[in-house]
Structure 1
Amino acid sequence: MNMLLTLTIILSAIPVLVYMTYILAAITSKPKQYPPLKSLPKISIVIPAYNEEEVIEDRINNLAEIYPIDKMEIIVSNDGSVDNTEEIARSVLKKHSIEGKVLTHDRSGVNKAINRGINETSQDLVIITGSDGLFDKDTIPNLLGVLLSSDDIGAVSGDLVPVAKGESIFSNSEAAYRSIYGKICTWESNVHSTYCFNGPVVAFKKEASSSLNTRRGADDASMALSVIKKGYRCQYVPSAKFYEYVPDKFHEQRRQKIRRATRLLEATFFNRNVLSTNCGRFRTVVFPLRLMMLFLVPTLVFLSIVLWMAYLFTVNPIYSMVILLAIVLSVAFGSIRTNILSSFLIYQAYLFLGLFNMLRDVHVWEPTERIKI
Structure 2
Amino acid sequence: MNSMATLTFMISSIPVIVYFIYIAAAITSKSPPPISVESLPQISIVIPAYNEEAVIEDRLKNLSEVYPKNKMEIIVSNDGSNDKTEMIANRAFERYSLCGKVITHERSGVNKAINRGISKSTNDIVVITGSDGLFDENTIPDLMGTLLSSDDIGAVSGDIVTYADGDTLFSRSEGAYRSIYGKICTWESNLHSTYCFNGAVVAFKKKASSFLNTRRGADDASMAMSVIRNGYRCKYVSTAKFYELVPHEFSEQRRQKIRRATRLLEATLFNRDVFSPKYGKFGVIVYPLRFLMFFVVPTAFFLSLILWTILFASINLLYGIVFIAFIALLLFSGKIHANIVSSFIIYQGYLFLGMFNILRDVHIWEPNERTKI
Settle same-fold status: TM greater than 0.5.
yes
**1:36-47 maps to which residues of 2 (within 5 A)?**
36-47=36-47
Displacement, 1:336?
1.5
Residues 163-218 of structure 1 show CA distances to partners (whole Å, capped at 9, x for unaligned) of 10010000000000000000000000011000000000000000001010000100
Q: Does 1:122 align with 2:122?
A: yes
CA distance in 1, matches of 2:277, 2:48: 31
Alignment of 1:130-169 (within 5 A): 130-169=130-169
Query: Hey, what's the Cα distance between the residues in 2 that align with 1:277 and 1:97?
Result: 49
1:281 maps to: 281
The answer to whether structure 1 residue 31 and structure 2 residue 31 are counterparts is yes
Q: Contact 1:34 / 1:149 at 8 angstroms: preserved in 2? A: no
Tell me the alpha carbon deviations over residues 51-110 of structure 1, each in whole angstroms, 9 at most, x when there is no partner: 000000000000001111111000000000000000000110122221111000000000
Amino acid at match of 1:95: R
Partner in structure 2 of residue 56 of structure 1: 56
1:235 aligns with 2:247: no
Distance 2:35 2:214 in 1: 36
The residue that corresponds to 1:343 in the other structure is 343
Deviation at 1:35, TM superposition (A): 3.1
Report what 1:355 is aligned to: 355
TM-superposed deviation, 1:34: 4.7
TM-score by length of 2: 0.99
Gaps of at least 5 residues in structure 1 are none
Give the deviation of 1:232 after TM superposition. 0.2
Question: Matched residue of 1:172: which SS?
Answer: helix
Deviations 1:302-326 (A, max 9, x none): 0000000001111111111111001
State whether residues 229 and 277 of structure 1, in contact with CA within 8 Å, keep that contact through their aligned partners in structure 2.
no
Counterpart residue number, 2:365 = 365
Tell me the equivalent position of 2:254. 254
Query: C-alpha distance in 1, partners of 2:213/2:148?
Result: 26
List runs of 5+ in structure 2 lacking aligned partners: none
**Distance in 1 between residues matched to 2:254 and 2:186, nearest whole Å:** 27
User: Does the 8 Å CA contact 1:218/1:266 hold for their aligned counterparts?
Assistant: yes
Match of 1:110 in 2: 110
Q: TM-score of the superposition, structure 1-length normalised?
A: 0.99
Distance 1:346 1:155 in 2: 30
Given that 1:44 and 1:72 are in contact with CA atoms closer than 8 Å, whether structure 2 keeps it comes out as: yes
CA offset digits 1:223-253 (Å, max 9, x no partner): 0001001000000001000011100101000
Query: What is the aligned partner in structure 2 of residue 73 from structure 1?
Result: 73
Distance 2:165 2:228 in 1: 37
1:306 corresponding residue in structure 2: 306
2:82 alignment partner, SS class: coil
Distance 1:277 1:109 in 2: 33
| C-alpha RMSD of the superposition | 0.8
For the 8 Å contact 1:231–1:278, the answer to whether it is kept is: no
| Secondary structure class of the residue paired with 2:342 | helix
Paired position in structure 2 for 1:294: 294
Q: Distance in 2 between matches of 1:277 and 1:121?
A: 34
Tell me the residue number matched to 2:315: 315
For 1:99, the aligned partner's letter is C
Give the Cα separation in 1 of the matches to 2:336 and 2:45: 39
Query: Is contact 1:192–1:281 with CA below 8 Å preserved after alignment?
Result: yes
Local SS of the residue matching 2:275: helix
Aligned to 1:171: 171
